Amino acid sequence: MRLRTSRQTWDSLLITVLAFITALVISAILIAIADDRTRSAAGYFFQYPQDTFTYAGQAIGNTYRALFEGAIFNPRTAGNGTAGTLGPISETLTYATPLIAGGLGVGLAFRAGLFNIGGQGQILAAAICAGYVGFHWHLPVVLHLVVAIVAGILGGALWGGITGWLKARTGAHEVITTIMLNYVALNLLNYLLKVKGFQNSASGQAISFPVDHNAQLPLLLGSGLRVHLGIVLSVLAAVFFWWLMKYSRLGFRLRAVGANPLAAKTAGMNVERSYLAVMLLSGAFFGLAGVSQILGTNDALTNDVDAGVGFDAITVALLGRANPVGTVVAGLLFGALHAGSANMQQYTPIDLVQVVQGLIVLFIAAPAAIRAIFRIKARGASTGAELAKGWNG
C-alpha cells in the first residue's frame, strides 16, 4: 500500500509538472504571435529565420522574467527598502488569500460530491454582510473586526446554504442553482449600491461607504505593502479543512456521501442534511474569501469586489486536487500569476495569465491528454473519470 500510494503521488506530480510545461509552451507561442517584432520578422522568415527566433526568444524571455519579478523577487528594486524587496511577495500573498479560501470551498464540495460554481455569489453575499457591519456599525477595536468577519462568513455560508437546502429538499442540481445565485447576488449588490445608507452618497458612483478602520484586517508588512491578516486566516482555514476531512466525524460522513450517497444513506447517514452541511461549509470558506476582499484588499463594496475569485477558485481546487496542502500551493501559484501580470503587461497582454491558468487546469483535469502528448503509459486504471457525473447524478 505504501508503495502504491507513493507511486500514485509521484504519478500525479509528474502529470502536474508536465501540464505546467505544456501550458507554458503553448503560452510562449501566443507571446511570440502577439509580439510585433517577431511577427514582422516572420514576414521574412525564409531569408533570416534566426531573426524570428531571436525576437520570439526575447519576447518570451522578457515576459516570463517580468512575471517572475512581479510575483516573487525583483533584483532591480530589491534595494529600495521593504517595499522594493518584499513588494512582489506581498502582492502574491494578497492575491493568493481569497484564492486559497475559495479553493478550499470548492475542494470541500468536491470531496462531498458537489460542485460549487457559486463562489462569486457567496463572496458577494459575504462582502455585503461584512461590508455592512464594517461601515454601518461602529464597534471597538478587535470586536468590530471579529464581528465583521463572522458576519461575512455567515453571509457566504447562508448563500451557499440556499443551494444546499434546495438540493436537500428538492434535488435541484447544485451547478444550476449556484450559477443562478451568482447572478442573483450580483443584481442584489447592484441594487444595494444605489440604496441610501449603502451607497457612498458623496461619490455618486456605485460604491459603498468605506469600511471603518476598526473593521479592517491589519496589514502584516506595514502600510506600504498590501498583504494583510487574511492570508493567515486562509492558511488556518486550510488546517481546519485538513482536520475536518481526516479526523472528524462530520468529514467522514461528508466523504461517504460524496463517494456513494446510496451507501451512506443505507448506513443511516442523513444525506440531505449532509448536502446542507457541505454547502454551508463551502459557502463559509468563500465567505472568508469575501471577507478578505472587503475587509483587507479593498475597503469599500463595488460590484466587482469578487475579482473573479469564484471561478479562479475552481481552478485552484482542481490544481490542488481538493486537498489542503495542494490547495494552498495552488492558491499561491495562481496568486503569483495574478501578481506578476501587472509587471508583465509591458511585454504581452495581461490576459495571458488567464490563458496559462486555463491551460494548466485543462491538462491537470485530463491526465489522459498529458499521457497522450508525452506518450506516458497509464499506471492502474485511473482515467480521470472519477469525478464525472451527470445532471441527474
Q: Which residues in 258-287 contact other proteins (CB under 8 A)?
A: 259-260, 262-270
Q: How many CB atoms lie within 10 A of CB 206?
A: 15
Closer residue to other proteins (CB): 333 or 352 = 352
Closer residue to other proteins (CB): 203 or 383 = 383
Residues 315, 323, 327, 341: which binds other proteins (CB under 8 A)?
315
Q: How big is the site for other proteins, counted in residues (CB under 8 A)? A: 80
Q: Are 371 and 362 in contact (CB under 8 A)?
A: no
Counted residue by residue, the chain has a size of 393
Indicate whether 351 belongs to the interface with other proteins (CB under 8 A): yes
Indicate whether 171 belongs to the interface with other proteins (CB under 8 A): yes
Indicate whether 369 belongs to the interface with other proteins (CB under 8 A): yes
Closer residue to other proteins (CB): 124 or 227 = 124
Stretch that binds other proteins, among 9-17, 145-153, 163-171, 323-331 (CB under 8 A): 163-171
The one-letter amino acid code at 131 reads G
The burial of 258, by beta-carbon neighbours within 10 Å (0-12 exposed, 13-18 middle, 19 or more buried), is given as: buried
Closer residue to other proteins (CB): 307 or 368 = 368
d(CA 162, CA 152): 16
Indicate whether 254 belongs to the interface with other proteins (CB under 8 A): no
Q: Are 227 and 219 in contact (CB under 8 A)?
A: yes
Least separation, in Å, of the C-beta of 369 and other proteins?
5
Indicate whether 24 belongs to the interface with other proteins (CB under 8 A): no
Angle (CA) 72 76 81, round 5°: 80
Indicate whether 250 belongs to the interface with other proteins (CB under 8 A): yes
Residue ranges in 106-135 that form contacts with other proteins under rule CB under 8 A: 115, 117
Cell of 116: 460549487
Indicate whether 342 belongs to the interface with other proteins (CB under 8 A): no
Indicate whether 34 belongs to the interface with other proteins (CB under 8 A): yes
Indicate whether 147 belongs to the interface with other proteins (CB under 8 A): no
Residue ranges in 46-75 that form contacts with other proteins under rule CB under 8 A: none
Stretch that binds other proteins, among 9-17, 212-220, 284-292, 348-356 (CB under 8 A): 348-356
Residue ranges in 193-232 that form contacts with other proteins under rule CB under 8 A: 194
Phi, psi for 228 (deg, rounded to 5): -130, 180
Closer residue to other proteins (CB): 204 or 268 = 268
Closer residue to other proteins (CB): 138 or 169 = 169
The DSSP annotation for 59-102 comes to HHHHHHHHHHHHHT--TTTTTSHHHHHHHHHHHHHHHHHHHHHH
Contacts of 225 (CB under 8 A, 6+ apart): 82, 83, 86, 87, 90, 219
Least separation, in Å, of the C-beta of 106 and other proteins?
10
Q: Rounded to an integer, what is the distance from CA 32 to the centroid of its chain? A: 28
- Which residues on adjacent β-strands are paired with residue 90? none
Stretch that binds other proteins, among 67-75, 124-132, 244-252, 275-283 (CB under 8 A): 244-252
Closer residue to other proteins (CB): 46 or 386 = 386
Least separation, in Å, of the C-beta of 216 and other proteins?
27
The dihedral over CA atoms of 336, 145, 322, 111, expressed in degrees to the nearest 10, equals -160
Least separation, in Å, of the C-beta of 377 and other proteins?
14
Q: How many CB atoms lie within 10 A of CB 325?
A: 12
Residue ranges in 2-21 that form contacts with other proteins under rule CB under 8 A: none
Closer residue to other proteins (CB): 226 or 253 = 253
Least separation, in Å, of the C-beta of 26 and other proteins?
10
Q: Are 134 and 148 in contact (CB under 8 A)?
A: yes
Least separation, in Å, of the C-beta of 142 and other proteins?
27
d(CA 37, CA 314): 36
d(CA 119, CA 225): 27
